[in-house]
Amino acid sequence: MTDLDAARRIADAVLYEGYLLYPYRAGAVKNRMRWQFGVYVPPGFTATEEASAAQTECLVEGGETVHLRSRFLHVQARTSECAEPYDEAAEREIDAVWPLAGLLEGERVREVRVPGGRTTADGITRTWQPLDVRLRASAERLPGPYGVIRLRVRLENAGAWTGEERTEALRHSLVAAHTMIGVTGGAFVSLADPPEWARPAAEGCENLSTWPVVIEDDLVLSSPIILEDRPRIAPESPGDLFDATEIDEILSLRTLALTDEEKRAARATDPRAAEIIDRVDAMPPELLERLHGAIRSPGPRRGWDAGRDEVPVFTTEKPWWDPGADASVDPETDRITVAGREVGRGSKVRLRPAGRADAQDMFVAGRIATVEAVLFDVDGSQHLAVTVDDDPGTDLRRAQGRFWYFAPDDVEPL
């Protein structure tokens, strides 16, 4: 059986993305409109355009058994005599296992009713509504010599509730829903970067309100948040902060800066918020220092800026490049030929971003830059790390190893 837990840490990040944002208080404006990702409302709720189902289509080569695990948050209303009403959430999971041969013969359906309930403890009452969930799966073998199979999975909210208030609709919805799909004896084909022979089949897959990414060869995570294939949680991250678009270091420092009164309000808002406050308060200096970042690959994408895109940056505590890793390259002394001229560290270039350059690059187009390093990625592609000469923050960027990255075609040697 495929180990679905291999995707759990990534799936947990999806499950709690936006659950409660800094400063982790119910009264904060950003926490008044909650749960924006993977919300599948009852079909009878029409006040918004939110979907009631998600459809995943992915490609698999071979295989014997398909294991599905759909996960979501179940909203529960919390009331107390000494605090304002507030909605929390509990995790739910639904599993289904079917032979791939059976799915090729026709659709299989699993229907599950999650019962409602009510508990009272320590003066706090929690109430949750029943949910009706339907999981469908089918498969078809595509024509051609490769024998690839298109697997279709639908996760549906089959509840009969009707109403007009979104707050109440959320209590009858699947929230932050996603599905892990494993196959024994087979392998999934990437839809983001399929081999050429599979490109027409990949383009024919119809994914609605979700997107499948490969976690392992035999495991896919279909998520309402688009991820890249084989995503990983940075080992430096000590725990979830409910905002994967932010840097752990920044959020941790902001949380440390909260006043005692603000921390008390956050702890009283939600047990998970209290866990974040306690974890950050107890974080030793050496662990906080680790959050400053690391680089694990010398292959940044074209036009990528470490500071702008809020990803881990080069640490200044030790060399960001390990000479012992590959003695055949040295970013500080390597030189390449650009437009017939040799370019390396210290060379002056004019930035001419083109092709796949992003919108931010328009701000540096035509400006003079200094090459800081020549890098090669695992595919042998060349990249230039540069600093912009008239940027007042250049000295700080250089000291911290924060560079702009461009392909050789994006620069004009001077």
Q: Which of 80-84, 273-277, 280-284, 357-361 has the lowest mean pLDDT?
A: 357-361
The predicted structure's pLDDT at residue 84: 81
Average pLDDT over residues 97-116: 97
Average pLDDT over residues 180-203: 94
C-alpha span between 125 and 376 (Å, rounded): 58
Residue with tokens 């990949």: 202
The predicted structure's pLDDT at residue 317: 37
Q: What is the pLDDT of residues 364-380, one digit of tens each?
A: 889 999 999 998 876 77
Query: Mean pLDDT, the chain, as a whole number?
Result: 87
The predicted structure's pLDDT at residue 259: 94
Contact between 154 and 213 (Cβ < 8 Å): no
Identify any residues that bridge with 266 across adjacent strands, giving them in sequence order. Answer: none
Q: Provide the 10 A C-beta neighbour count for residue 111.
A: 12
Provide the percentage of residues in the chain whose pLDDT is more than 70: 89
The predicted structure's pLDDT at residue 309: 38
Q: Which of 245, 222, 366, 379 is nearest to 308 (CA)?
A: 245
pLDDT beyond 70 at 304: no
Give the residue, 137 or 311, on which the prediction is more confident: 137
C-alpha span between 182 and 98 (Å, rounded): 11
Q: Model-level pTM?
A: 0.71
Give the residue, 311 or 52, on which the prediction is more confident: 52
pLDDT beyond 50 at 301: no
Average pLDDT over residues 290-317: 48
The predicted structure's pLDDT at residue 381: 83
Give the residue, 359 or 202, on which the prediction is more confident: 202
Task: Please give the domain boundaries of the chain with CATH numbers for all domains.
Answer: 4-223 (no CATH), 296-414 (2.30.30)
Contact between 127 and 117 (Cβ < 8 Å): yes
CA 118 to chain centre: 33
C-alpha span between 273 and 284 (Å, rounded): 19
CA 64 to chain centre: 29
The predicted structure's pLDDT at residue 145: 83
200, burial (CB in 10 Å: exposed 0-12, middle 13-18, buried 19+): exposed
pLDDT beyond 80 at 404: yes
pLDDT beyond 60 at 251: yes
pLDDT beyond 90 at 96: yes
Q: What is the pLDDT of residues 60-76, one digit of tens each?
A: 999 999 999 999 999 99
pLDDT beyond 60 at 322: no
What DSSP character marks residue 128?
E
CA-based torsion, 243, 246, 248, 252: positive or negative: negative
Average pLDDT over residues 25-32: 86
